[in-house]
Amino acid sequence: MSERQRANHQRDPIADLRRIAFLLERANEATYRVRAFRSAAKALAALPVEEVAERARAGKLTELAGVGDVTARCVAESLAGEEPVYLRRLLATEGTDLDAEATALRTALRGDCHTHSDWSDGGSPIEEMALAAVELGHEYLVLTDHSPRLKVARGLTADRLRRQLDHVARVNEALPEGFRILTGIEVDILADGSLDQDEALLARLDVVVGSVHSGLNDDRAKMTRRMLAAIANPHLDILGHCTGRMVSSRPAGVTGPGDRGHRARTRAESDFDADAVFAACVEHDVAVEINSRPERQDPPKRLIRRALEAGCRFAINTDAHAPGQLDWQRFGCERAARCGVPADRVINTWAADELVAWTRA
């Protein structure tokens, strides 16, 4: 009998559901979440063991009152002899000081992969952004100004981007040793999933962040197709603020794409098949951005957890449009730590050379 088979005989899905409920209660999580696991445990306890296994095999657990998608997945993993991912995550973070975890993650970050200058809609010159990054202890800053179609944000044409590359090379010569600006772009993911910049130019850049800024209300099928096409593009390295949501108004004095005259607006998440998108990110080795901006907090925690389960890498970025905003990384770190994202899944814990080697691979 293999280890795996032996484990099969030992795992009790009902005990796992109850354990999860207990840990959620202890962590003072919302009552409805705890109740989901308690009622699933109760529903399954009322059935013969064979019926639970049979329903799990047939994918019919969710037909039972009290069993949802998440709890059904835990049961299936448990029956397969594996510690449910949900439980493993809770065990990994329970009893730990989340502030300390977030701080550790922040300390592990060596740079920022999503920032803007006054070449597009940022408020400051590249030099000032770089110096602020040096003061924060970063080893690098990826400059990712917008692409041409985002006219409200003064997106850079191919010509302007080429000029920016020359300018960055000059600025880099004057910066302290051990720090450098990496070249990049926040390129719009267009309606058909193509990227809004010359292929050859994208190939020259150190880091390519791709984001959806238009047609955010596309229906689920269209948005999913669009995102999958972008992720399959060999130039894409990081999927930026994937849901496009706005949870609050922007901080005073901050402009951003699409916010002219809509400064107090919130925006719902775009609808897409998150499992398909995250699976594609794993397949094409594209990192999922954890956007630190307070008004974005994108992706929401439930999607960070799903991306983590899927096996995605992450980039914890500020999307800073001003030097002071470069310090917002701690917000992203808090959210990441809350979801149990380990430092070794975060690409900006790498040194600049490692990062560039990865994006070029």
Structure tokens at 252: 């005073």
Least Å from the CB of residue 18 to Zn ion: 42
Q: CA–CA separation, 168 vs 291, rounded Å?
A: 24
Least Å from the CB of residue 137 to Zn ion: 22
Least Å from the CB of residue 188 to Zn ion: 9
Q: Closer CB to Zn ion, residue 242 or residue 281?
A: 242
- The answer to whether 62 touches 72, Cβ cutoff 8 Å, is yes
Query: Is residue 200 classed exposed, middle or buried when 0-12, 13-18 and 19+ CB atoms within 10 A define those classes?
Result: exposed
Least Å from the CB of residue 319 to Zn ion: 4
Structure tokens at 213: 């800024």
Q: Closer CB to Zn ion, residue 101 or residue 319?
A: 319
Least Å from the CB of residue 298 to Zn ion: 9
Q: Closer CB to Zn ion, residue 143 or residue 355?
A: 143
Q: Closer CB to Zn ion, residue 96 or residue 217?
A: 217
Any alpha helices (H) in the chain, and if so which ranges? Answer: 3-10, 13-26, 31-45, 49-58, 69-79, 85-93, 98-108, 126-135, 158-174, 199-204, 220-232, 274-283, 301-310, 329-338, 352-360
311's CB contacts (< 8 A; 6+ apart) are 282
Least Å from the CB of residue 306 to Zn ion: 21
Q: Closer CB to Zn ion, residue 39 or residue 291?
A: 291
Structure tokens at 117: 């200058």
Q: Which residues bind Zn ion (CB under 5 A)?
A: 186, 211, 319
| 294-304 as b/e: b if 16+ CB within 10 A | ebbbbbbeebb
Q: Closer CB to Zn ion, residue 41 or residue 303?
A: 303
Query: Is residue 74 classed exposed, middle or buried when 0-12, 13-18 and 19+ CB atoms within 10 A define those classes?
Result: buried
The DSSP secondary-structure symbol of 183 reads: E
Least Å from the CB of residue 111 to Zn ion: 16
Q: Closer CB to Zn ion, residue 16 or residue 186?
A: 186
Structure tokens at 17: 């559901």
